[in-house]
């Protein structure tokens, strides 16, 4: 099988017009490599250019991010060292979400928890391998729940109707990535988005990441057709919405400029109180950061 190579992020990040509040958290971002220190998984579906910790820090300094949650990417498989090492160098500014499989034991989970991990991720997206082994899924959910972790879920929008009942029955909080990957061209009344809004309204365990505007958008940069979806989610559950860049943007059709992504925030959340919730208070509560 040929492993395709994907492009790296926009190297010319512009300084956003919108100034993020202090301690704003990018709750969905990745570190890739460097490959000679943190090898890529032989079973990966794509190969990214290295996007190491120094680039990660430079990006956040440019756009004004003070905290971050590193979602360990599928290209690193279940080797979570790249995120674990970054947390150790962050002076408390980073947390992470792990990739796990059925081989993890209690001791391994305890080490990740002590190292700053606060959740684990499951990919249901078809181009990244599709449905996980649900027996392993159920076992891991039972193992991480006592730690106070959440699970992070990556779906194709078309599959949300099928999985909504399962999500409502989960015994722990869960986050849904990228606004459910809905398609802006299908409108606010499309079934996957209605189900996502219903879940958010009815299930207090449900959180949604308002990120991936470039994945939701049908119009392209600067992705403003994603704004009504983000606004609806923020109005539905302002205490359970979090934001992220998804840097360095693997597998996107149109590579965004992260300055544009920051400047979308006041379009869907013009109120300063709501901005503070989404960017500071909500992620602090979910990921265990201190609040001043």
Q: How far apart are CA 127 and CA 149, in angstroms?
A: 26
- Sheet arrangement for strand 206-210: 25-29, 67-71, 94-99, 117-123, 150-154, 174-176, 206-210, 241-243
Catalytic residues: 246
């Amino acid at each position: 099988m040929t492993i395709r190579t994907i492009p790296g992020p926009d190297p010319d990040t512009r300084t956003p017009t919108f100034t993020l509040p202090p301690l704003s958290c990018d709750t969905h971002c990745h570190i890739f490599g460097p490959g000679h220190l943190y090898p890529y998984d032989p079973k990966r579906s794509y190969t990214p250019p290295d996007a190491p910790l120094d680039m990660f820090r430079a990006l956040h300094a440019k756009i004004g991010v003070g905290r971050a949650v590193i979602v360990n990417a599928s290209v690193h498989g279940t080797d979570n060292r790249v995120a674990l090492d970054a947390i150790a160098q962050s002076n408390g500014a980073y947390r992470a979400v792990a990739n796990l499989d059925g081989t993890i034991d209690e001791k391994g989970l305890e080490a990740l928890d002590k190292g700053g991990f606060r959740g684990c991720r499951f990919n249901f997206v078809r181009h990244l391998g599709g449905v996980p082994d649900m027996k392993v899924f159920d076992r891991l959910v039972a193992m991480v729940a006592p730690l106070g972790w959440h699970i992070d879920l990556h779906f194709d929008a078309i599959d949300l109707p099928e999985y909504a009942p399962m999500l409502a029955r989960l015994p722990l909080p869960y986050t849904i990535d990228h606004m459910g990957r809905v398609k802006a061209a299908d409108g606010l009344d499309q079934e996957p988005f209605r189900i996502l809004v219903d879940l958010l309204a009815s299930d207090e365990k449900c959180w949604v990441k308002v990120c991936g505007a470039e994945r939701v958008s049908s119009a392209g940069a600067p992705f403003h057709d994603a704004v009504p979806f983000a606004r609806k989610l923020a109005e539905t559950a302002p205490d359970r919405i979090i934001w992220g860049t998804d840097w360095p943007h693997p597998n996107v059709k149109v590579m965004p400029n992260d300055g544009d992504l920051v400047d979308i925030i006041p379009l869907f959340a013009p109120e300063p109180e709501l901005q503070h919730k989404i960017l500071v208070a909500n992620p602090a509560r979910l990921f265990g950061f201190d609040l001043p």
